[in-house]
């Protein structure tokens, strides 16, 4: 394949900076618009809020119970966000949004250093407009933070191993690489070390590249890693004797090798998330693969090959895992964005024209689907919450199609960078509109309106009976008492059995003795308690749950 300079008419720097300002405004502008939803957003917001309220920054607690499924760094950052910006949705989602935005910057900086300024802008725009990156950066989860730290590790490694890097610069970049692994480890566990380590081993074996192993600053790098990670792991283990077995065996070995966590799926589970998640750049995947396999030098680090190994390994690793969630493959997207930016920077603008077809058809399909929104109506999902989502989805689709038309015009004028900017801003704006329209539906998976309507007094006991909405403690700003509910609380309930009520009979005794009390439960539990003669008055009900008060 013959490569060409990508632009005959360069995009002025000031225009690029203006585009990035608009991008940042859209990125952070609607962050606090939607309510937090069950389960991930409520869980991680409650963990951070509990840490801030209790002052215990060592042992994470979910709804007052010890919770060791993940390390502590995201909760620290969430607690600091609440302290600085108040207890609200914007503060709750700020760390994932920052993590995604910083990842975009790291990708742009790295491509700039490796292949030039325009490649940097193109890579960053591809990263910042990929559907899965945008959506997960505006949703409270832990995988976006993991992606950010692994991106720091990957990009620092690539910059450290450049042939023209001086000894001092190489050492500094490698220390930053080790620090990135430490941040990833404190965000999601040993995966923060396993992914970079496995990728380097595979790259060496596949392409017989071993020289860089002498430039890893292994001893000093391990010191950096241990200085950043060991203090918390040691202290939390000393204070909580059951931590080490639960965290390292149950949450790592058993999660990967078994389906105990009930998050299994077929081997191709992540294929649709990759194809939709890399929109509007999905048709670049075949040429990216071809580019990554091309040999462009002897005896030296080849970034494209390493990036390809990274992306493929992440995809296959989590595909093999017995525990799967859609956001697990996020760490492969920075590598794909770097490869895409490098690829685009070496093409003529007309080359991208045919790649507009698939994303245009995708958004046209979404636009058509909004006219048949009644098909998705169910007892749990009324038309009243689907209609706003359909309207905003239609508006988002039209926004993207307008951006695609602008991109087509820029390509006709031989302005590739301007076309990519137009397409990227359109993708980000369209996804943001859909997220705004999702809020009425999100209300069904949140307790915000319930708490605002009931306004429980500080002396009102609140119970969660055989049912647990992760957002309830967050919007109450205090813990609820679990009744006959275990799930992810098993460790905490065994460690501190007085903090919950294991049986309905025990709840009945506590309920009758309470001065004021509210309880959230499902309909079948209510019927069972009603049959036992427990005094209850329904004060809220929707298709999923109800809240009763003590008369």
pLDDT of residue 259: 58
Q: How confident is the model at residue 87 (pLDDT cuts 50, 70, 90)?
A: very high
Look up the pTM and report it.
0.94
**With bands split at pLDDT 50, 70 and 90, how would you rate the model's confidence at 284?**
very high
CA 198 to chain CA centroid, Å, is: 22
Crossing angle between the packed helical segments 73-85 and 167-188, to the nearest 10 degrees = 90
Label residue 258 by pLDDT band (50, 70, 90). low
pLDDT of residue 257: 62
Of the pLDDT bands very low, low, confident and very high (cuts 50, 70, 90), residue 16 is confident
Q: What is the pLDDT of residue 132?
A: 97
Give residue 14's pLDDT. 80
| pLDDT single digits (tens) 54-67 | 999 999 999 999 99
Q: Which of 16-20, 195-199, 262-266, 459-463 has the lowest mean pLDDT?
A: 262-266
Q: Are the C-beta atoms of residues 417 and 444 closer than 8 Å to each other?
A: no
Per-residue pLDDT tens digits for 490-529: 999 999 999 999 999 999 999 999 999 999 999 999 999 9
Residue 252 clears pLDDT 70, i.e. is over it: no
Give the per-residue pLDDT at 219.
96
pLDDT digits (tens, 9 = 90+) for 29-52: 999 999 999 989 999 999 999 999
pLDDT, position 239? 95
- Pick the closest to residue 371 from 390, 357, 353 (CA basis): 390
pLDDT per position as a tens digit, 439-462: 999 999 999 999 999 999 999 999
* Residue 202, pLDDT score: 96
pLDDT: is 34 or 259 the higher one?
A: 34
Q: State the pLDDT at residue 298.
A: 56
Distance between CA 415 and CA 16 in Å, rounded? 13
Average pLDDT over all residues of the chain: 93
Rounded percentage of the chain residues whose pLDDT exceeds 70: 94
Cis peptide leading into 235, omega within 30 of 0?
no
Measured between alpha carbons, how far is 373 from 264 in angstroms, rounded to an integer? 30
Nearest Cα residue to 333 out of 373, 276, 293: 276
Which among 246-250, 255-259, 313-317 has the top mean pLDDT? 313-317
Phi, psi of 482 (to 5 degrees): -75, 140
DSSP structural state of residue 14: H
Token couple for 196: 């970079």
Q: What pLDDT, on a 0 to 100 scale, did the predictor assign at position 457?
A: 94
Q: Are 144 and 99 in contact (CB under 8 A)?
A: yes
- Dihedral sign, CA of 434, 440, 445, 448? positive
Residue 11 has pLDDT above 90, yes or no: no
Between CA 289 and CA 399 the distance in angstroms is 30
Residue percentage of the chain with pLDDT more than 90: 85
**Range 302-321 average pLDDT:** 94
Q: What is the pLDDT of residues 295-306, one digit of tens each?
A: 665 556 789 999
Residues paired with 541 in a beta bridge: 546
- What pLDDT is attached to residue 319? 92
State the pLDDT at residue 118. Answer: 93
The helix-helix angle for 143-160 and 333-344 (nearest 10°) equals 50
Q: What is the mean pLDDT of residues 123-146?
A: 97
Which of the two residues, 511 and 209, has the higher pLDDT score?
A: 511
Residue 517 and residue 474: Cα distance in Å, rounded? Answer: 18
Contact between 529 and 508 (Cβ < 8 Å) = yes
pLDDT tens-digit readout, 527-538: 999 999 999 999
The per-residue pLDDT for 4 is 42
Residues contacting residue 496 through CB under 8 Å, at least 6 positions apart:
65, 66
298 — alpha (psi -120 to 50), left (phi > 0) or beta?
Answer: beta
Which position has the higher pLDDT, 284 or 543?
Answer: 284
Q: Which letter does DSSP use for residue 181 in this model?
A: H
Please say if the pLDDT value at position 10 is more than 60: no
| pLDDT the model gives residue 469 | 96
Beta strands, E only, 6-46: none
pLDDT per residue as tens digits for the range 330-380: 999 999 999 999 999 999 999 999 999 999 999 999 999 999 999 999 888
Q: Is the pLDDT of residue 254 over 80?
A: no
Sign of the dihedral defined by the CA atoms of residues 230, 234, 240, 244, in that order: positive
């Amino acid at each position: 394949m013959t490569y060409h300079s990508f632009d005959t008419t360069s995009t002025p720097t000031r225009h690029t900076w203006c585009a990035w300002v608009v991008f940042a405004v859209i990125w952070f502008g609607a962050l606090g618009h939607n309510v937090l939803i069950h389960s991930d957003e409520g869980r991680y917001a409650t963990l951070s809020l509990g840490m801030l309220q209790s002052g215990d920054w060592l042992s994470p607690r979910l709804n007052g119970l010890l919770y060791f499924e993940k390390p502590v760094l995201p909760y620290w950052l969430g607690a600091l966000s609440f302290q600085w910006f108040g207890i609200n949705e914007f503060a709750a989602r700020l760390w994932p949004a920052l993590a995604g935005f910083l990842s975009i910057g790291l990708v742009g900086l790295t491509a700039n250093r490796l292949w030039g300024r325009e490649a940097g802008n193109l890579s960053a725009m591809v990263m910042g407009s990929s559907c899965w990156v945008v959506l997960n950066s505006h949703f409270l989860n832990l995988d976006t933070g993991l992606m950010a730290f692994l991106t720091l590790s990957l990009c620092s490694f690539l910059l450290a191993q450049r042939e023209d890097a001086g000894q001092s610069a190489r050492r500094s970049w490698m220390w930053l690489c080790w620090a990135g692994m430490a941040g990833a480890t404190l965000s999601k566990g040993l995966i923060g070390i396993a992914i970079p380590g496995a990728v380097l081993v595979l790259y060496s074996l596949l392409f017989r590249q071993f020289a860089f192993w002498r430039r890893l600053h292994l001893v000093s790098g391990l010191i950096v890693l241990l200085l950043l990670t060991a203090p918390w792991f040691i202290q939390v283990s000393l204070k909580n004797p059951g931590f080490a077995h639960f965290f390292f065996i149950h949450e790592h070995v058993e999660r990967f090798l078994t389906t105990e966590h009930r998050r299994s799926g077929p081997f191709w589970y992540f294929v649709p998330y990759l194809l939709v998640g890399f929109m509007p750049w999905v048709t670049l995947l075949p040429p990216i693969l071809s580019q990554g396999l091309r040999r462009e030098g002897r005896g030296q680090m080849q970034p494209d090959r390493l990036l390809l190994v990274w992306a493929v390994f992440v995809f296959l690793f989590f595909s093999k895992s017995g525990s799967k969630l859609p956001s697990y493959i996020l760490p492969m997207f920075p590598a794909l964005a770097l490869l895409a930016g490098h690829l685009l920077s070496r093409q003529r603008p007309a080359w991208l024209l045919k790649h507009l077809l698939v994303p245009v058809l995708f958004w046209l399909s979404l636009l058509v689907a909004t006219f048949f929104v009644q098909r998705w109506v169910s007892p749990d999902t009324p038309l009243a919450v689907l209609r706003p989502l359909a309207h905003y989805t239609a508006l988002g689709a039209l926004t993207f199609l307008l951006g695609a038309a602008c991109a087509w015009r820029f390509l006709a004028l031989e302005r590739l960078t301007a076309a990519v900017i137009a397409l990227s801003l359109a993708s980000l704006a369209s996804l943001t509109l859909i997220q705004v329209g999702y809020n009425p539906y999100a209300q069904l998976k949140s307790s915000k309106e319930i708490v605002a309507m009931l306004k429980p007094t500080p002396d009102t006991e609140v119970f969660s009976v055989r049912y647990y909405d992760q957002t309830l403690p967050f919007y109450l700003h205090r813990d609820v008492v679990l009744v006959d509910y275990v799930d992810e609380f098993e460790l905490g309930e065994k460690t501190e059995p007085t903090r919950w009520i294991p049986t309905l009979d025990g709840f009945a005794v506590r309920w009758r003795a309470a001065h004021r009390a509210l309880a959230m439960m499902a309909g079948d539990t209510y019927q069972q308690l009603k049959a036992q003669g427990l005094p209850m008055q329904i004060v809220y009900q929707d298709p999923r749950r109800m809240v009763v008060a003590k008369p």
